[in-house]
Structure 1
Amino acid sequence: MAIASSDIAKLAHLARIAISDNEVGQVTERISDVLKLVDQLQAVDTQGVKPMAHPLDAVQRLRADQITERDEREAFQAIAPATEDDLYLVPRVIE
């Protein structure tokens, strides 16, 4: 896929990116190289290849599902300025 310098200038304007006139040629060349790489990747036959979640067959180690902290809700409720039905009451902020 070929891209013209005028396309780069238009994209720079839409993206609000300042690209000087002498940089437009370099940016056009770099973007053309990226688009060539994308074309190469799209040309590869992937029929029969299973999608992978991760390139390595790594297994995530999981920790045991155990309680590690004490339940201190009663102590926190006791020092709260206002509670009702085990909920904290706060001032209304939205009218």
Structure 2
Amino acid sequence: MSVDAATVRRIAHLARIAVSEAEIPHLAGELNAMLAFVEQLSEVDVEGVEPMTSVTPMEMKKRADVVTDGGIPDDIVGNAPATDDYFFLVPKVVE
């Protein structure tokens, strides 16, 4: 894939970056170099390589998947303008 001047202008517009006309050829070259590198990466054979989350082997921290009430219902509804039996009261919006 090759990036042309119109594509550079569109990317700059979407990114809300001011780009002068003199900068467009340079940016097109840089974007083309990045895309060429990504295409080069797709040629690497990764068959049998396990995905990893870090360069060092580690287990992800996990917590028990249990349902609790939080233990602090007064603190949870403390700043609510209106409550009833630890439930938030809100105005009706559907008629």
**Class of the TM-score when normalised by the shorter of the 2 chains:** 0.5 to 0.7
Higher helix fraction: Structure 1 or Structure 2? 1
Q: How many correspondences in the alignment?
A: 84
CA 88–9 in structure 1, closer or farther in 2 if over 3 Å, else same: closer
Q: Which residue does the alignment assign to 2:93? A: 94
Q: Which residue does the alignment assign to 1:32? A: 32
Q: Return the alpha-carbon distance in structure 2 between the equivalents of residues 31 and 94 of structure 1.
A: 49
4+ long deviations beyond 6 Å: none
Helix, strand or coil for the counterpart of 1:56?
A: coil
The code of the aligned residue for 1:56 comes to T
Q: TM-score, normalised by structure 2?
A: 0.58
Helix, strand or coil for the counterpart of 1:43?
A: coil
| 1:11-51 C-alpha deviation (Å, 9 max, x unpaired) | 434x2543210110121111011111101101111122222
The code of the aligned residue for 1:37 comes to F
Q: Return the alpha-carbon distance in structure 1 between the equivalents of residues 52 and 35 of structure 2.
A: 24
Q: Return the alpha-carbon distance in structure 2 between the equivalents of residues 82 and 50 of structure 1.
A: 51
Which segments of 5 or more consecutive residues in structure 2 lack a partner in the other structure? Answer: none
CA 12–71 in structure 1, closer or farther in 2 if over 3 Å, else same: closer
Aligned sequence identity (%): 27
Residue 63 of structure 1, CA deviation: 7.0
Q: Which residue does the alignment assign to 2:21? A: 21
CA 88–62 in structure 1, closer or farther in 2 if over 3 Å, else same: closer
Q: Return the alpha-carbon distance in structure 2 between the equivalents of residues 7 and 93 of structure 1.
A: 48
